[in-house]
Structure 1
Amino acid sequence: MAERLAFIPPMEPKLVVKPPEGENWIHEVKLDGYRSQIVINGPDDIRVFTKTGADWTKKYAGLVDAALELDVKNAILDGEAIVINETGLPDFNALQKAVHDNPYAMYLGAFDILHLDGRDLRDLGCQTRREILHSIIKPNSRIQFSETMPGDAKAIFYLADQAGLEGIVSKRADSKYRSGPTTNWLKTKSFTEDEFELLGVKRERGKAAFAYLAEPGSGKYRGSAFITLGRDMKDRLWKRVQDHAGPRPEVMKEKPEAEWVKPGIKLRVKHLRGDHAHIRHASLLGFGDEE
C-alpha cells in the first residue's frame, strides 16, 4: 500500500534585482496570490495547504473540486492560489476577501508537481516535472498550468512590469525540487508607487534616516521607507515633522530616537509590487499633496 502523501515545505525563490541571463532558465509570470500546495491521496482525501503548512482545505473548496477531476491516484501540486478581476489579472484584495467568504472563487496557477501516482518526482529536473504537470491539467479547470514565457528574460520582465504584474520567477531548467530558500529559483519583482501616511521618523547620527508609514485612513502600520530625498525635500520634511509633532501612535511600539507626528502628512512611496502586509525596498519620492 502506497505511503500517504503529506505537506512538503515549498522551494522558495531568492529575490534579485534583475532576471538571470542564459538559456538554461524557465521564466514564468509571478502571480499575485497565496502560495498553495494541493495534496491528493485519492478522491476522499484531498487537502490544500498554505506556504507554511496550514490546512486551508475548507477555504479552497473550489480547488478541491478541480483536483477531483484530475486523472491521478495521488499527487502533490505546487502553485499560487489567485482570484482574477474583470481584466483577467490577479486581484490580491479580492483573494483576501474570498478566503473568508467565497471558497469557490479561487484558481490555482500550478507550476510544479512533486509526486504523482506513487512516484517521487523531486529529483527530476524542473523542465521535466513541468512537462509531467502539463500532461495532467484539464482544460477549463480551476487548476491551470502556469505557462513558460518565451523570449529574452529582460523583455519578459519589462512586459510583466508594463502589464502591472508583480514580476517574474526564473527557474533553472534542470533544477531538482528542494524545500527552502534556493538560488536555483529567482524572483524579480516590479516596483510600484503608493501613498502612505507618515507615523514618524527615525534619525540616528551616522545612519540612514527612515520613515514609519501607515495605510491612509486605517492607520494600519505598513512598514518603513528610507529617506533618500534631496537636501531641499529633506529640510521640508523635517519642518513638517516638527510642526506636526505628536504622541506615539497606538500601532507602534516604543522606539528610541523616533520622532512621532500627528496624522495628516501624506507621502508618495516607491516599493516592491505585491508586498501587501509590509512594504519592502521602499523609498520616499515626495509629499502626497505635491504631485
Structure 2
Amino acid sequence: MARSSSNKPPEAPTDSMPARVDPCVAMLVDKPPKGPEWAFEVKWDGYRLAVHIEPGRVRIITRGGYDWTNRFPSIVAEARQLRLTTAILDGEAVVLDEQGRSDFGMLQRALGRRPSAHEPGEIILFAFDLLYFDGCDLRRLPQRERRRLLEQVLAERKDAIHLSEEVEADGEEFLRVACAHGLEGIIAKHRERPYRSGRTDAWRKITCTRRDSFVIVGFEPSTVTGAIGRLLLAARRGGELVYVGGCGTGWTREESVKLRELLEEIETDAPAVNLKRKGAVFTQPLLVAEVEYRAWTDEGRLRHPSFKGLRGHHDGVEIFDQST
C-alpha cells in the first residue's frame, strides 16, 4: 500500500523517532468495563513486539528491549512492503493453531527453541497500535485516532502482518464467546486515552483463566530421575521478590528434564526469597515462567497453578511479564 500524506494527523509536529518505546501493559481485572468509550480485542498469546520501520531498515524490538529482527524474517519482509517512511507498530507475534487460536508453545517451537514442524514463516504479527508515523509521535493522541491511522496503514495487509480487529460487542458477551472458543481472553482499551508506557488501567485484560508470569527461584526434584517435581515461584511486590507457591503440573516428561537442566546451570546457595524448603534446589532469579491459575489464596499463594512455558532466558535475562 502506498503511503498517503492524507493519513498523517494534521497539526502534528515533526518528532524525532524514539529508538525504543516501553510498551503499554494492560491491567488484569475480573470483569470487562462497560460503556461506549471502551473498545475490545482478542487477547493474543505470543511475544510482544515493536516493529520499527525506518528508511533502509526494519528493526524488531522485544518487550525487554532486545533486537530480535533476525528471528522474524517474514514480518520484516512484509514491513518493508508497507512502503512507509517511518513508523512504529505495536503488536503480538503469534502462531495460530488449526482453529485460528494463538498458541505460545507453537510459537516457541517455530522460533527454534524446541524441535518442531512449524517454520518461522508461520509466525504472524497482530498489530494493535501505531505509536509513530511519518515523523509524528502518535502516543499523545487518543486510542481511537491511533486506531484510525493504523487501520489505514494496514488496510491491505493479510500475510505476515495482520490488523488485530476491534469487536463491536458488549464486553461480557465477548468474553463469554472468547472463552467458549478456547481463547485466552480479551483486551479492553479506553478510546479517549493516550498511549502510556507501563501498566495502566486504560488497557485492561480479562482472561478466561488467570494467567501471568512469575520468576523461578528454585525447584524440588521429582522422584523420576532427572525431572522436576515442583517449580518454586516468586512475584515482585514492593520492590522485592516474594514467594507465591509451587507449581507441579503443565509439562511433559521431556520438558521437565530440559527445564531441570536449564535450572541446574543457575543454581545458587543464596535463595532469592525468604524460604526454607527441605530438599529444594534454589536458583538465580533469571528464568520467568508463564503460569495459568484460578485465583490467589488468602495467604498470597497461587491456587491450582499450571506451567505454560518460559517467557525468559538466563543468557540476557529477557523478562516477559505478560504479553499484553
Larger Cα-atom Rg: 1
Q: 2:81 aligns with which of 69, 75, 91?
A: 69
Deviation (angstroms), 1:284: 3.6
Match of 1:213 in 2: 248
For the 8 Å contact 2:17–2:137, the answer to whether it is kept is no
Determine whether 1:118 maps to 2:135. Answer: yes
Match of 1:283 in 2: 303
Match of 1:109 in 2: 126
Match of 2:173 in 1: 155
Within a 5 Å distance, the mapping from 1:159-238 to structure 2 comes to 159-191=177-209, 198-199=229-230, 211-214=246-249, 215-217=251-253, 218-219=255-256
CA RMSD of aligned residues (A): 3.3
Return the alpha-carbon distance in structure 2 between the equivalents of residues 172 and 25 of structure 1.
Answer: 5
Distance 1:252 1:212, change over 3 A: farther
Distance 1:192 1:212, change over 3 A: closer
For the 8 Å contact 1:198–1:213, the answer to whether it is kept is yes
Distance 1:220 1:122, change over 3 A: farther
TM-score by length of 2: 0.65
Letter aligned with residue 85 of structure 1: D
TM-score by length of 1: 0.71
Return the alpha-carbon distance in structure 1 between the equivalents of residues 275 and 131 of structure 2.
Answer: 48
Report Cα offsets for 1:192-223 as digits up to 9, x if no partner: 89xxx85399xxxxxxx95442534243699x
Determine whether 1:6 maps to 2:19. Answer: yes
Q: How many residues align?
A: 238
For the 8 Å contact 1:37–1:76, the answer to whether it is kept is yes
Match of 1:35 in 2: 48
Return the alpha-carbon distance in structure 2 between the equivalents of residues 170 and 200 of structure 1.
Answer: 32
Deviation (angstroms), 1:113: 0.2
For the 8 Å contact 1:200–1:259, the answer to whether it is kept is no
- State the identity as a percent: 32
For the 8 Å contact 2:209–2:292, the answer to whether it is kept is no
Match of 2:67 in 1: 55
Return the alpha-carbon distance in structure 2 between the equivalents of residues 58 and 210 of structure 1.
Answer: 37
For the 8 Å contact 1:9–1:179, the answer to whether it is kept is yes
Letter aligned with residue 58 of structure 1: N
Deviation (angstroms), 1:100: 2.4
> Structure 1: any 5+ residue segments left out of the alignment?
202-208, 223-248, 262-274, 286-291
Return the alpha-carbon distance in structure 2 between the equivalents of residues 257 and 7 of structure 1.
Answer: 41
Letter aligned with residue 219 of structure 1: S
